[in-house]
Amino acid sequence: MARRTRFKLTLDSCLGNNQSKEKWVMGRWKEILLWTVGSVLLLVIAVFAMVFQSMRPTKGPRIATYPTPRTAVLVIDIQEDYTGPQAKKRYRDGDRIIAASNTLLAQAKAKGALVIFIENVIDNSIVSAFTGGINAPGSPGTEMDRRLIKVPGARTFTKGRSDAFSNPELDRYLRENQVERLLITGLDGAYCVDSTTRGALNRGYHVTLFPEGIATESGQTLEKLAQGWQKAGAKVKGVTEI
C-alpha cells in the first residue's frame, strides 16, 4: 500500500510538472504573439504618420515683388514608374497628361519661360518596402517619361515629400530667376500636385493649373480638385490658354 501511495504521488508530481511546463510554454507563446502584433502595429502607425507628414504643404518666406517677373512651368512626377512602358504603378491617364504637358512645354519653349521637371525619389527603406520599390534612387523608373519634350536649359529637382518645395533648392532657383508665376501639370492631382500648389501659394507665387495635364488615382474627380485649388487662390485653365 505504501509503495502504491508513493508511486501515485510521483505520478501526480510528474503530471503537475508537465502541466506547469505547458502553461509556461503557452504563456511565452502569448507574450511573443502579443509582442509581434504590437511591433507590427507600431510599424504600420509609424509608416502612416510618416506618409501623412510627407503630404503636408511646406511654408516659407513670401517672394519679393519683381520689376520684370518671369514664368516657369513645373512638370511634377510624370516619371517612367507611373507612365512609362515598364511602369510599376501605371496611371491610366498617362498618355493624356503627357500630350497636354508637351503642348504646354512647346509654348513655354517658344515664349522663353523656364521649365522645371520634378522627380519624386523614395530613399526611405521602410516606405520603399511598402510601395514596391517605386522611385528608387538612381533607377530608370525614377526618370521623367522619355516622351516629354526636351527643353534646352530645363532644370530637374528631386523631392522626397509630396510638396516639391520641400527641396529648398527649387525655391532658391525660382527666386534667383525672379519667377512669380508657376504653370503646373503632373500627378497625382490629389497629392503631390496639390501639396506643391499649396506650398507655392504659401510663398506668394501665382499658380495656374492645367487639369488636361493632371492625373489622379485618388478616387476624387479633377473637377472637385480644381474647385479646391481655386478656393485656395490658384487659377485653373486649359493648356492653350498660357
Given this model, what pLDDT does residue 235 score?
98
Domain locations along the chain: 1-54, 70-241
Cβ distance 171 to 164 under 8 Å? no
Instruction: Enumerate long-range contacts of 34-37, CB under 8 Å, 24 or more apart.
Output: none
Which stretches of the chain drop beneath a pLDDT of 50?
11, 43-44, 46-50
Q: d(Cα 215, Cα 217) in Å, to the nearest integer?
A: 7
The residue type found at 235 is K
Given this model, what pLDDT does residue 39 score?
60
pTM, full prediction: 0.78
Q: Which three cell numbers stand for residue 13?
A: 508530481
The residue type found at 200 is A
Given this model, what pLDDT does residue 46 score?
47
Cite the DSSP H helix spans in 84-148.
94-111, 125-130
CATH architecture type of domain 70-241: 3-Layer(aba) Sandwich (3.40)
Reduced to 3 states, what is the DSSP secondary structure of residue 72?
A: strand
Given this model, what pLDDT does residue 5 score?
55
Cβ distance 76 to 196 under 8 Å? yes
